[in-house]
């Protein structure tokens, strides 16, 4: 988003130039769908030093379109830093002077980790639509294998927003002994019918693109750019509040002359914005990965195995929880976060809940809102004290 002050790799509160690394996970991974991945690669970035006790590691889980590049810059000429640079860095709420921060591109991603664009060893061509459906729990298992390889027995905290927050919940429920604190931001215990509906429209936009070729578009040397663009445009509308769009675009016309053109070209600023967002997404994201990510969202429902009782799901958790939501977020509204809090209270877990006054919408979780960052900072400062960071 625009409006943030200019930052550089050389800023005192930036992690600076960062270099992603590939980790080869050679253990087979049995997936929720029943299939097994014999091995996989994960693209990883880390910021800050791991202490001698290996107690100060923090895992950052990314959302739908995120990746391993959460903070810093890949080169001096990078225009934009990583996706959560506002919160990660020296002196920032996720303070890299105290924590060893780990962020990875999730399995099924398209930014270097094994996913649909990877060559299937069985066929020698990209997996494409044959890549198995990945669930939030599969991600957690894959992340746990990465933690083993990094020598991290227990995360001081696992942190994530949106779909990332769902991964945090899964960690707290399934691997309680490996997580000290769970920070669940702008998430939901499962997504609503409305949310599934948005995802389905996004998928249909991609799959009905003539260039989709049943997901085997790589072989045709094309991408379903039109469908992916539509999917992203739709997504963007749901990440912003009505008020934020009104404030930012209103009904301002693209042409300065104030005259209607009475045609189907871009007339209003908001149309121009959405087309631009859609196009820039097509340039960096794979359509099959987008399909996978939306399915992971749809399937997430940790209470399902506990008789639809979320409190029962949390009863075995030992982490302390910080749950945060944003007033202007209607895609993952505060009411959904309160469901999580309610279940945690019913399960007798330690939980703090902050409902942040905000304007933007779901994307607020990426913004450096003072009230939000103060809570994050205060919370994580205690975590750092606790683990001797």
Partner 1 sequence: MSDPQTALRPDLAIIGDLIKPDTRILDLGCGDGALLSHLARTRGVRGYGLEIDPANVAACVAAGVNVIQADLDEGLADFADGSFDYVVMTQALQALARPDLAVAEMLRVGREAIVTFPNFGHWRARWAIMNGHMPMTPALPAQWFNSENIHLCTVADFEDLCRKSGWNVLERVLLDRAHHRGAAITLLPGLFCEIALYRLRKPANIVPVG
Site residues (vs partner 1, CB under 8 A): 322, 338, 341-342, 345-346, 350-357, 371, 374-375, 378-379, 381-382
Burial class (CB in 10 A: 0-12, 13-18, 19+), 258: exposed
Catalytic residue among 85, 100, 362, 363: 362
**Residue with Cβ nearer partner 1 (143 or 358):** 358
Catalytic residue among 329, 358, 363, 364: 329
Instruction: Write out the DSSP string of 68-91.
Output: S--SSBSSTT-SS--TTTTTEETT
**Residue with Cβ nearer partner 1 (285 or 379):** 379
Catalytic residue among 55, 65, 162, 337: 162
**Residue with Cβ nearer partner 1 (219 or 335):** 335
Query: Are residues 86 and 366 in contact, defined by beta-carbon separation less than 8 angstroms?
Result: yes
**Residue with Cβ nearer partner 1 (254 or 338):** 338
CB of 354 to partner 1, least distance (A): 5
Instruction: Give the Cα separation of 350 and 117 in Å (integer).
Output: 41
Does residue 162 carry a catalytic annotation? yes
CB of 302 to partner 1, least distance (A): 19
**Residue with Cβ nearer partner 1 (152 or 184):** 184
**Residue with Cβ nearer partner 1 (147 or 389):** 389
Does residue 381 carry a catalytic annotation? no
Query: Are residues 179 and 172 in contact, defined by beta-carbon separation less than 8 angstroms?
Result: yes
CB of 176 to partner 1, least distance (A): 18
3-state SS, residue 315: coil
Maximal C-alpha separation, the chain? 67
Cβ-based neighbour number of residue 255 at 10 Å: 11
CB of 337 to partner 1, least distance (A): 10
CB of 332 to partner 1, least distance (A): 16
Cβ-Cβ contacts under 8 Å for 64 (sequence gap 6 or more):
162, 163, 235, 290, 293, 294, 297
Strands 155-161 and 57-61 turn out to be parallel
Q: Which long-range contacts (CB under 8 A, 24 or more apart) does 370-375 make?
A: 372/324, 372/326, 373/86, 373/87, 373/92, 373/93, 375/322, 375/324
CB of 92 to partner 1, least distance (A): 16
CB of 321 to partner 1, least distance (A): 9
Query: Which residue has 């591109």 as its token pair?
Result: 105
CA-based nearest residue to 123, from 216, 199, 213: 216
Instruction: Give the Cα separation of 103 and 87 in Å (integer).
Output: 13
**Residue with Cβ nearer partner 1 (237 or 345):** 345
Helix (H) and strand (E) counts for the chain? 10, 12
Catalytic residue IDs: 162, 329, 362
């Amino acid at each position: 988003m625009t409006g943030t002050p200019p930052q550089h790799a050389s800023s005192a509160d930036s992690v600076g130039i960062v270099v992603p690394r590939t980790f080869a996970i050679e253990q087979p991974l049995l997936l929720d769908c029943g299939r097994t991945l014999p091995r996989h690669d994960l693209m990883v970035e880390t910021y800050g030093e791991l202490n001698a006790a290996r107690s100060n590691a923090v895992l950052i889980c990314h959302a739908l379109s995120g990746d391993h590049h959460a903070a810093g810059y890949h080169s001096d000429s990078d225009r934009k830093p990583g996706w959560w640079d506002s919160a990660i860095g020296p002196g920032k709420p996720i303070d890299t002077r105290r924590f060893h921060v780990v962020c990875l591109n999730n399995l099924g991603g398209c930014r270097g980790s094994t996913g649909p664009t990877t060559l299937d060893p069985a066929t020698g061509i990209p997996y494409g639509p044959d890549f198995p459906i990945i669930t939030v729990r599969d991600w957690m298992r894959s992340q746990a294998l990465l933690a083993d390889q990094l020598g991290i027995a227990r995360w001081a905290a696992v942190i994530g927003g949106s779909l990332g927050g769902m991964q945090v919940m899964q960690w707290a429920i399934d691997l309680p002994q490996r997580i000290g604190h769970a920070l669940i931001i702008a998430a939901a215990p499962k997504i609503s019918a409305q949310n599934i509906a948005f995802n389905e429209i996004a998928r249909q936009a991609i799959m009905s693109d003539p260039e989709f070729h049943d997901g085997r578009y790589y072989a045709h040397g094309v991408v379903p750019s039109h469908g992916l663009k539509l999917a992203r445009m739709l997504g963007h509308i749901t990440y912003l509040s009505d008020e934020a769009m009104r404030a930012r675009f209103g009904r301002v016309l693209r042409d300065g002359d104030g005259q209607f053109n009475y045609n189907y070209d871009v007339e209003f600023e908001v149309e121009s914005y959405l087309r631009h967002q859609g196009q820039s997404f097509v340039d960096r994201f794979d359509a099959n990965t987008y399909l996978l990510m939306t399915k992971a969202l749809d399937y997430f429902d940790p209470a399902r195995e506990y008789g639809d009782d979320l409190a029962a799901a949390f009863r075995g958790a030992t982490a302390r929880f910080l749950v945060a939501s944003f007033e202007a977020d209607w895609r993952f509204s505060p009411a959904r976060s309160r469901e999580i809090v309610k279940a945690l209270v019913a399960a007798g877990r330690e939980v703090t809940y902050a409902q942040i006054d905000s304007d933007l919408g779901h994307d607020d979780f990426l913004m450096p809102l003072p009230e939000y960052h103060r809570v994050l900072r205060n919370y994580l400062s205690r975590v750092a004290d606790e683990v001797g960071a």
